[in-house]
């Protein structure tokens, strides 16, 4: 068996916005998939669209949320996260109870991105002050 030599690469430091956003999107992906099952079970899609598209839509949205959660280190992924929140809110036109999901998870997403970014800025400022106080 080959031995790996050298030191391991240090892990990338994740900010609060990224960590909180990932938590919200992972849990929301589960609920969105279940909402797709509800759309299927209630036959809530417009006439002419097969009911199984409710499951497909829920599964695709859930997978997209998981993918975006993994890419939150990029600024564009935050924007894509907001787009996914709008998509969930629009699903309330099919099943009105989904508005509860949209409000709860939309609020958590807003808190995660806004307050998380604020915490990241504060932590960066404190780290720079500590570096300047140490004479670096």
5 secondary structure, DSSP code: -
Please give the average per-residue pLDDT across 69-89, as a whole number: 96
Please give the average per-residue pLDDT across 60-65, as a whole number: 98
Tell which residue, 77, 88, 87, has the closest CA to residue 112.
77
Mean pLDDT of the chain: 92
* pTM for this predicted structure: 0.84
* pLDDT tops 70 at residue 135: no
| C-alpha to C-alpha distance for 45 and 95, rounded to whole angstroms | 9
* pLDDT tops 70 at residue 5: no
The structural domains of the chain, with segments of one domain joined by +, span: 17-127
| C-alpha to C-alpha distance for 5 and 132, rounded to whole angstroms | 36
Tell which residue, 97, 86, 83, has the closest CA to residue 35.
97
């Amino acid at each position: 068996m080959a031995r790996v030599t050298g030191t391991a690469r240090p892990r990338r430091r994740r900010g609060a916005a990224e960590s909180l956003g990932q938590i919200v999107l992972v849990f929301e992906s589960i609920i969105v998939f279940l909402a797709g099952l509800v759309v299927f079970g209630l036959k809530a899609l417009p006439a002419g669209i097969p009911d199984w598209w409710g499951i497909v839509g829920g599964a695709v949205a859930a997978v997209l949320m998981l993918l975006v959660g993994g890419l939150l280190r990029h600024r564009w992924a935050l924007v894509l996260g907001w787009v996914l929140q709008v998509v969930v809110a629009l699903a309330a036109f099919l099943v009105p109870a989904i508005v509860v999901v949209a409000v709860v998870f939309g609020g958590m997403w807003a808190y995660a991105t806004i307050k998380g970014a604020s915490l990241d800025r504060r932590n960066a400022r404190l780290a720079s002050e500590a570096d300047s106080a140490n004479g670096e």
